[in-house]
Amino acid sequence: MECTLCGHHKTYKHGKTSKGSQRYYCPACKQSFTETFDTLYYRRQIKPDQIRMVLQAHSEGSSFRGISRITNLAYNTVVSIIREASVKGQMVHNEQVQQVEVEEIASDEFWSFVKKQKNCLQNELIVGDCWVGMTQAQGSGLILANRVGKHTDEFITQLVANTEGKTGCQQWNTDGWGGYERVLTGVVEHSIGKEQTQQLERTNGILRQQTGRWHRRQNKFAKVWEHTEATIRLVVTYFNWIWIHSRKKNTAAMRAGLTTAPWNWDDLITYPTLL
């Protein structure tokens, strides 16, 4: 077994933990570890199937408390699993979505809110209106970047900067919001019109209907800003790497040439973060 700490190719069995898990010892870094180290299974006294069920249920629209009731897990355990999975999902996105060949980029946002819609003070930056901005590769449908924030020029600037780190494409298609005209300047070719962003509008609709906290007129709205950020990271990972298009029979990452086969939850759960 390869060492998960230093990558050394040979390790040795080194007894077992109090729970019966096999431990290994690395002669190179002189550290011991278990098989589940650096995974979401590490030090969790719950079944692997339950962790996969939590992630699938949340990606398909169930709320934190709803998942807690279905799986009979503590609410804080559910939150912890989703938050850690979202961090791994962001690492996957940062490392794997690089230098993507794209002919055109579509950018759009959709509105949600956190905790309350009205009577929000100016200094309350983590409640009230919460916009989710995304950029998508036209054709493959791969989500290149996403941001959560207030609907400001700074919000769009961050979204554009994140997208430019993923591809060298200079053709942008957006709707008519003026923030894009103020931010997209210089050598960028900028086309404005809803007909240019139909694929991304459809993706936004899928994510809104698939994610419980973004449904309109219901009580599953977000209560904590950080939970919305964790949800969008997890949902984007699910959409890009795991979700198989019913007609095309492949994932967005496959259509973009980033992988040759669909991922599953174990690929995300065990994704290495140390090496």
**Tens digits of per-residue pLDDT, 214-257?**
777 677 788 888 999 999 999 999 999 999 999 999 999 999 99
State the average pLDDT for the chain.
Answer: 90
42 CB burial (10 A radius; 0-12, 13-18, 19+): middle
CATH topology of domain 96-269: Nucleotidyltransferase; domain 5 (3.30.420)
Distance CA 158, CA 65 (A): 32
pLDDT attached to residue 227: 92
| Segments making up each domain of the chain, as ranges | 1-37, 96-269
Q: What is the pTM of this model?
A: 0.88
Contacts of 122 (CB under 8 A, 6+ apart): none
The pLDDT tens digits for 133-179 are 999 999 899 999 999 999 999 999 999 999 999 998 999 999 888 88
